[in-house]
Amino acid sequence: MKEILLKTATTESVIRCGEGVFAEYAPRLADEQLFIVTDSNVFAYYRYRLWETFGEFVPIYIIPAGERSKNIRYLTAILKEMLKSGMKRNCTVVAFGGGVVGDIAGLAASLYMRGVKLVQVPTTLLAQVDSSVGGKTAIDFEGVKNAIGAFYQPREVIADPAFFETLTEREVRCGWGEIIKTSALNGEIYDLLVKNTDKFADKDFLSGIIAMCIEHKARVVEADEKETTGLRKTLNLGHTTGHALELYYRKKSHGEYVLIGMYYELYIAMKKGVCDKNYAASLIGLIKKIVNKIPSYPDIAEACKLAAYDKKNSDSRISVIVPAQIGRTEEIKLGMDEYVSLVKECSETLRRAYGI
């Protein structure tokens, strides 16, 4: 078990990660007034675990599994149920699930009675290495991902790999998308992945990587909690194009789209002379360990116009965070026409490579 402290100007979070941390630390929450938010898939697997840990009468709100539930309708429903259940200002919201649950439950906690305590219990690999840490909460709105949200740090994060036993292969790939993204930000993680590509399925190896990814994100958030200095922007590597493709196509997981977006943006980085080709080739090798065939999209120009809604953009220019050297990134700002042209060029290159 590893314990990581995240201290910001607003609060202090304790993040506990490792096998068995849920069994050791979650029961301590049972003495508090709790309100649990989860989704239909997670509840089907873990309802008895929840009841055994927190009691059979703890209020639980269950949203339908999937990104489409991360909307204002379910946010309002959660808040109504909290009020109906008699939640007080000293209550604790427990987000028990993946990234969607963590995002919407976290936002509900930030709004209810001007903010109540929040504990994140991430049950997916993606949520453990990324979304449960750092205090970003949000819902999608009017077709724009994470358009309504708040920075709201959890009091505690309990990240137990024991929950991975019920994950599908796609959910595991989704988490690896964020791990490989983090490796492009952290030279130590990058070196470890490059030297151990044969251990990606090893449980002990993965547990160590999770702790390293959490540690990296915690230090970034401490230095730039609300993306005021630009350091936290680096965590969005691969996300500009990835989010656009995710919103337009909706056929793959978030983490898969992050890796696909990272591939396309590596192409942009090489064309702009920002990223060394050998380093780019090494990162592409890691990407293809998870997403073997990078898709070519015939209508990618339309998809990438959705990048205009990315919150990193400024002055009507598209912000793309790209790898430059091991452990170092750069921000490239492109006009929409140039951005779309480069992404289309990459897609055409892929199409020719596949002989389509």
201: CB partners within 8 A, 6+ apart:
none
225 is written with which tokens?
Answer: 């909690």
In the chain, domain spans:
2-166, 173-353
170-183: per-residue pLDDT in tens? 999 999 999 999 99
User: Beta strand 318-325 with 328-334: parallel, antiparallel or unpaired?
Assistant: antiparallel
Kindly calculate the radius of gyration of the chain based on its CA atoms and give it in whole angstroms. 20
Arithmetic mean of pLDDT, 72-87: 98
pTM for the complete prediction?
0.93
- pLDDT value of position 313: 85
% residues pLDDT > 90 (the chain) = 92
Select from 245, 267, 265 the least CA-distant residue to 255: 245
Select from 276, 265, 291, 250 the least CA-distant residue to 346: 265
Mention the CATH class of domain 2-166: alpha beta
SS3 for 233-300 is: HHHHCCHHHHHHHHHHHCCCCHHHHHHHHHHHHHHHHHHCCCCCHHHHHHHHHHHHHHCCCCCCCCCH
pLDDT at 255 over 70: yes
pLDDT at 239 over 90: yes
87 is written with which tokens?
Answer: 């939640």
288-318: per-residue pLDDT in tens? 999 999 999 989 999 999 999 888 888 789 9
Select from 229, 321, 307, 237 the least CA-distant residue to 272: 321
- pLDDT value of position 315: 79
Task: Return the DSSP state at 133.
Answer: S
Alpha carbon distance, N-terminus to C-terminus of the chain: 49
Select from 11, 9, 14, 16 the least CA-distant residue to 207: 16
- pLDDT value of position 288: 96
Query: Residue 293 carries which side chain, given as an amino acid letter?
Result: K
User: Can you tell me the distance from the alpha carbon of 169 to that of 148, in angstroms, rounded to the nearest whole number?
Assistant: 30
pLDDT at 119 over 90: yes
User: Can you tell me the distance from the alpha carbon of 125 to that of 102, in angstroms, rounded to the nearest whole number?
Assistant: 13
Burial of 287 (0-12, 13-18, 19+ CB in 10 A): buried
Q: How confident is the model at residue 356 (pLDDT cuts 50, 70, 90)?
A: low
CATH architecture designation of domain 173-353:
Up-down Bundle (1.20)
Asked if residue 97 lies in contact with residue 166, where contact means CB atoms within 8 angstroms, the answer is no
For 311-326, b/e burial (b = at least 16 CB within 10 A) is bbbeeebbbbbbbbeb
125-139: per-residue pLDDT in tens? 999 999 999 999 999
Asked if residue 239 lies in contact with residue 258, where contact means CB atoms within 8 angstroms, the answer is yes
pLDDT at 2 over 90: yes
Task: Return the DSSP state at 342.
Answer: H
Indicate the length of the chain as a whole number.
Answer: 356
Mean pLDDT taken over the chain? 95
In the block, residue with structure tokens 């506990």 = 16
Tell me the catalytic residues: 114, 136, 178, 217, 227, 232, 236, 239, 243, 254
Q: Torsion over CA of 110, 111, 117 and 119, rounded to 10 degrees?
A: -60
pLDDT at 355 over 80: no
